[in-house]
Amino acid sequence: MQKRILGSSGIEVGAIGLGCMGMSWAYGTGDDAESIKVMHRAIELGVTLFDTADAYGPYTNEELVGKALNGYREKVTLATKCGLVVTDREHHTYARNAKPDYIRAACEASLKRLDVEVIDLYQLHRPDPEVPIEDSMEALAGLVKEGKVRAIGLSECDVPTLERAYMVFPFATLQSELSLWTRDVLAEILPWCQAHNVAFLPFSPLGRGFLTGQYRRADSIAQTDFRANLPRFQGDNFTANLALVDRVEAVAYGLGATPAQVALAWVLAQGEQVVPIPGTKRQKYLEENLGAADLTLSTADLAELDNLPPPVGGRYQVQP
């Protein structure tokens, strides 16, 4: 697989990473044994960046990733996060905590769950409105200086917050949502990352699975799946958004590819510093997704995808 660099950290990773959240959290019950096979297969196919967080489970996803990657430490880049605290497991709701003492304690706990001495990329899951971002960044920078993490990153920040954070420490990555139906970051945030040598890690690059074309009815999403509570997956919104998928499928048909591959190839085409982290707990979808790294979109393909209509409905009912 082609390689890309995680910003100022200099850490080289495969162009497509693996988001591990869905193996343990939010998308229904996972099978740990199968998930471990998926992670091992990912390594065989050139994936090196594995992304998790203490909130997933909570805690169980880090334990699963640590177990799966034991023995592969030199081949992988481990990324995890702190800053979201689960308040309701059933409804997947969170509170934010980015206090310095909390960050330091959370890092120690993640090191133990992952069973590693150093975390490659440690990210603040969300800024905390009750804590100045400068204070949170000082704590994260301290972890780098202590040798507990190699690099730090942020997630879901606006440009003013990024500017303030960067004045404290030159963080390596920003993780936010980017896909053919979530393009908000293209206007200001992605250009800011390009200008400051910050790698951009898109989560949900497949629109939480919607862009794959697998889902054609709103009631195909189980009520225990947190997507059932997202506006874009509900009722008339769901039906309206199928028009977007139809156009992605048309591009895919012309290329002899799948909609998932086209959607990921579009994300990859947004810049060399972009490293998408699609999630899956099935080997067949993993292999399909990674095929996007070898898919080249023509100027006409990109124009067609750039001109897709915006989705109907917001990203969340309540922003985590």
User: Catalytic residue positions?
Assistant: 56
Nearest alpha carbon to residue 209 among 289, 147, 270, 144: 289
Q: Rounded to 5 degrees, what angle do the CA atoms 76, 275, 113 make? A: 40
Q: Find the DSSP H helices in the chain.
A: 32-44, 60-69, 100-114, 133-145, 159-168, 189-195, 235-255, 259-268, 283-290, 299-306
Residue 58, C-beta contacts closer than 8 angstroms, at least 6 positions apart: 25, 85, 86, 89
Q: What is the CA radius of gyration of the chain?
A: 18
Pairing type for strands 199-203 and 77-82 reads unpaired
Cis peptide before 278 (omega within 30 of 0): no
φ, ψ at 276 (rounded to 5°):
-70, 150
